Amino acid sequence: MTEPTKDETHDEAHNGTLGSRLNWLRAAVLGANDGIVSTAGLVVGVAGATDDRSALLTAGLAGLLAGSMSMAAGEYVSVSTQRDSEKAALAQEKRELKEQPEAELEELTELLQDRGLTRDVAMEAAAQLTERDALRAHARVELNIDPDDLTNPWHAAWASFLSFTVGALLPLLAIVLPPAGWRLGVTVVSSLAALLLTGWSSARLGAADTRPAMLRNVMGGALAMGVTYAAGALLGAVGV
Ligand SMILES: [Zn+2]
């Protein structure tokens, strides 16, 4: 690992909040993207088989609820697991600090030396940090955790639920609101337009090239709708 320069460390500390806000925003855009693709694929598939508005509404709504709850549950489980392992790491650190304070002081000193401090300065800094709040210092420097800012699994679950729902509402409304002859066209065009937007946003948030991201995103959505429409039309034609 290369040693971070003074400037990098400084930027990192400053961008901590901004970085986590960007992560949330990116997760929200991805959730909405999932909602658009899966619901558009679902309702376009059903529309391939039937013209019945209530069948389209039922399928779309069931898809929206199933998708948003599955996203929320998945997020809850994954964040809870991460939080558990962070808490376990903090508990172990606390135990080590109590049982072998000298070894821990030496460990912190070496970690600070790895970050570019001279032996003397690192010893002094480690001593001061240990005196003020040893656990926090080890959490930050050794584990890269902020003990006061562990992600709340309920917040993450709600964010996924909401963002998926917002995305899913678009194709759902687009398939049930327009008159029968317009449904498919309105749904396909509005979903692809929304996918252009989510593709653009996620590329911008990740500081990546926007055009290939938008193209890939639209192709993925178009493929999903094409495949489900073909399947629905086939089933509709054979009268299953
Ligand atoms: Zn430690």
Per-domain residue ranges for the chain? 31-237
Query: Is pLDDT at 149 greater than 90 in this prediction?
Result: no
> For the chain, where are the E strands, in sequence order?
none
pLDDT classification of 176: cutoffs 50, 70, 90: very high
pLDDT classification of 239: cutoffs 50, 70, 90: confident
Query: Is pLDDT at 154 greater than 50 in this prediction?
Result: yes
* CA 84 / ligand 1 centre spacing (Å): 18
Q: In degrees, to the nearest 5, what angle opens at C-alpha 162 toward C-alphas 196 and 200?
A: 15
What is the reported pTM?
0.77
* CA 180 / ligand 1 centre spacing (Å): 66
13-35 average pLDDT score: 78
* CA 56 / ligand 1 centre spacing (Å): 58
* CA 6 / ligand 1 centre spacing (Å): 23
Q: What is the pLDDT of residue 6?
A: 43
SS3 151: coil
- Name the more confident of 196 and 20: 196
Query: Is pLDDT at 14 greater than 70 in this prediction?
Result: no
- Name the more confident of 3 and 72: 72
- Name the more confident of 18 and 49: 49
Helix %, strand %, coil % for the chain, to 5?
Answer: 85, 0, 15
65-75 average pLDDT score: 95
* CA 1 / ligand 1 centre spacing (Å): 19
Q: What is the pLDDT of residue 129?
A: 96
* CA 97 / ligand 1 centre spacing (Å): 7
* CA 90 / ligand 1 centre spacing (Å): 9
* CA 130 / ligand 1 centre spacing (Å): 10
Q: What is the pLDDT of residue 1?
A: 43
Percentage of the chain lying above the pLDDT 90 cut: 79
CB contact set of 237 (below 8 Å; sequence gap of 6+): none
Side chain identity at residue 97, one-letter code:
L
